[in-house]
Amino acid sequence: MAMKRRTLLTGAAAVAAAAALNAPKAWTQDVPLLGGGKGVPLPFKLYTVGEMGDLLRPADYDSMGMAHPDLGKLSVVIELDMMTRKARYMPYLMPIGHWPLVLPDGRIFLTSRFSNQGTFLSPDGEVLKTFKLEEYAALNFGGHSIYDAPRNRIISTVTNADNSGEMTGFVAIVDPKEMKVVGMAPVPGTNNSHELRVLPGGKELVVTGYAKNGNYEGLTDMVKVGWNFADVERAQLSVLDMETLELKRQFTSPNPYTMGHMDVDSEGNVYLEQFRNLVYKTPRITSNDGDDDDDAKDTKETKDDKQSDKKRMTTEKMMELAAQYEHEIGGPRTWPLHQTETAQKGLSTPTAIMKINAYTGDIQELWEKRENHRYVQSVVYHPDLKAVYIASRHSDALVVFPTDGSKPYSRSTADYGIYTACGVCAFPGTPYIGLLSNYSGIAIIDASTMNAVDYYPLTTFRSIHLNPVRMA
């Protein structure tokens, strides 16, 4: 039975999105073929959402008379028609858009990862409604949603905004007709849920949870671990009844890592990624009296001294971080760092893909080459090829795990023109998968041969995921 959060009211305050009316309008452009190829027309529309709409260049607007002063609050949905090669760009005023859920009537529902805002777009990209979780204390959306067709409702993951460690998390129930949150269902044992999948048969739902965050023992407050830069206690995979959303089973990770993205095979085995990140945040060097405003009054010699101190401290902490990283991975690093790995952004620890049977709880750790398991961001099961594909962001690797237990293998995503690989998707009824760059480009791969068959050279605005929708 869906429950409310203590004294909170059922439903969410829906606010008129007046600001969204000033967002740039959607536009469509042709995506060219490269190298004189023919491409591979597929009966799908492919959706992704870029969480950093501020990367839209002014020239993109100026040419269409759409200059906009507030790009930093934009996300951008991209709809790619794979038959016509036309891409529709749909900007909207919401930061950190994560997963584009396409409803049967063509509307798109979006939530902001780690903020309390949700948005409905029309099929043409018009903002229909924006709302916030104002009536639910200390809750944010978690990033992913699914559409529950038999009950005509949307189910969205929710996180505890204050990261208080409270171990009663929730999933939100959204009415697509009224376009508002109408309830919360508890997910005991986890305070941060991220992705949802329906198990075979449609009677149960699995939800990943980051669980409780805590300090990592033995480290200073400058070096922290995990998605939220903290160690993770009791990350959970929860199984809910699809109709009542009551908790039926729950499986705890044996590792202090987050569990975020996943997919489910035809036997009910869940394949999910784990994440662990070592980060050093450089302290700001201030003047002797602690007043940063006095920095402007410093002499050149004082400023030079401060810069020298900052470089020295950064170098020292980088050495500490490198030593801690070697301790974490059990020896010297034998792979190059990704261009986006820094002391401030973090060094990714190789982590296994977890295979958990959602019915029995049997757990197996899956490895290919260790260096190809750094910051996995997408996991997909291809029902026709009976294999699981993962996109490893900091490894720039596409790793394949056949579900029959045969040996896994990998390819460099650079072979497909994809760098900082984030998203991977399957096109059911075909042998193809899609591979997404966080910055620019989508490759289409014949997964039966692992050869590239098409490439879409389009800007992706730091997209994370691909959602293919078969055309009617």
The pLDDT of residue 115 is 78
pLDDT at 177 over 90: yes
Note the pLDDT of residue 236: 86
pLDDT (0 to 100) of residue 312: 58
Q: How confident is the model at residue 134 (pLDDT cuts 50, 70, 90)?
A: confident
Residue 142's pLDDT band (cuts 50, 70, 90): confident
Residue 145 has pLDDT above 60, yes or no: yes
Spatial distance between the Cα atoms of 420 and 211, rounded to a whole number of angstroms: 27
Residue 419 resides in a domain: no
Report the pLDDT value the prediction gives residue 63, as an integer from 0 to 100. Answer: 37
- For 435, residues 6+ apart whose C-beta sits below 8 A from its C-beta are 391, 398, 413, 416, 418, 421, 423, 424, 442, 443, 444, 445
Which range is least confidently modeled, 221-235, 254-268, 394-408? Answer: 221-235
Nearest to 360 by CA among 269, 229, 252: 269
Domain hosting residue 329, numbered range:
277-348
pTM of the model: 0.84
Average pLDDT over residues 287-310: 55
pLDDT of residue 353 exceeding 70: yes
How confident is the model at residue 38, as a pLDDT? 75
Would you say residue 112 has pLDDT above 70? yes
Are 380 and 425 in contact by the 8 Å Cβ rule? The answer is: yes
Residues paired with residue 89 on neighbouring β-strands, in sequence order = 27, 78
Q: Is the pLDDT of residue 213 over 60?
A: no
> What pLDDT shows up at residue 221?
35
**Beta-carbon neighbour count of residue 469 at 10 Å?**
15
- Digit-coded pLDDT (tens) for 9-27: 333 333 333 333 456 789 9
Q: What is the pLDDT of residue 321?
A: 74
Average pLDDT over residues 455-459: 93
pLDDT tens across 267-281, in order?
A: 999 999 998 877 654
pLDDT at 457: 94
Tell me whether residue 390 is in a domain.
no
pLDDT of the residue at 107 = 99
Q: Is residue 340 part of a domain?
A: yes
The predicted model gives 302-329 an average pLDDT of 69
Average the pLDDT over each of 183-187, 245-249, 392-396, 409-413 and give the range with the smallest value.
183-187
The whole-number average pLDDT for the span 234-249 is 92
Q: Is residue 301 part of a domain?
A: yes
99 burial (CB, 10 Å; 0-12 / 13-18 / 19+) is buried
- Is residue 291 in a domain? yes
Confidence of residue 322 (pLDDT cuts 50, 70, 90): confident
Both structure tokens of 367? 């490895």
Is the predicted pLDDT of residue 226 greater than 50, yes or no?
Answer: no
Euclidean distance between CA atoms 190 and 210, whole angstroms: 7
Residue 388 lies in a domain: no
Q: What is the pLDDT of residue 341?
A: 83
Q: For residue 301, is pLDDT > 90?
A: no
In a domain, 304, yes or no: yes
| Number of CB atoms found within 10 A of residue 162's CB | 12
Q: Residue 222: pLDDT above 90?
A: no
pLDDT digits 0-9 by tens, 32-74: 987 666 789 999 999 999 876 655 544 443 333 334 444 457 8
Share of the chain above pLDDT 90, in %: 53
**265 has a pLDDT exceeding 50:** yes
Q: Is residue 96 in a domain? A: no
What mean pLDDT comes out for the span 360-367? 96
* pLDDT for the residue numbered 15: 30
Banded model confidence at residue 110, pLDDT cuts 50, 70, 90: very high
Q: Is pLDDT above 90 for 102? A: yes
Please say if the pLDDT value at position 289 is more than 60: no
Distances (CA, A) of 282 to 2, 191, 217, 276, 387: 44, 29, 20, 19, 42
Who wins on pLDDT, 17 or 144?
Answer: 144
Give me the residue label for tokens 């036309």: 86
Count structural domains, the chain: 1
Rounded (5°) CA angle 188-227-382: 80
What value does the mean pLDDT take over residues 451-466? Answer: 93
**Quick one: pLDDT at residue 235?**
80
- Whether residue 292 has pLDDT greater than 80: no
Mean pLDDT of the chain: 81
pLDDT at 314: 60
User: SS3 for the chain, per residue?
Assistant: CCECCCCCCCCCCEECCCHHHHCCCCEEEECCCCCCCCCCCCCEEEEEEECCHHHCCHHHHHCCCCCCCCHHHEEEEEEEECCCCEEEEEEEECCCECCCEECCCCCEEEEECCCCEEEEECCCCCEEEEEECCCCCCEEEEEEEEEEHHHCEEEEEEEECCCCCCCEEEEEEEECCCCEEEEEEEEECCCEEEEEEECCCCCEEEEEECCEEECCCCCCCCEEECCCCCEEECCEEEEEECCCCCEEEEEECCCCCEEEEEEECCCCEEEEEEECEEEECCCCCCCCCCCHHHHHHCCHHHHHHHHHHHHHHHHHHHHHHHHHHHHHHCCCCCCCCCCCCECCCEEECCCCEEEEECCCCCEEEECCCHHHCCCEEEEEEECCCCEEEEEECCCCEEEEEECCCCCCEEEEHHHHCCCCEEEEEECCCCCEEEEEECCEEEEEEECCCCEEEEEEEEECCCECCCEEEECC
pLDDT at 111: 92
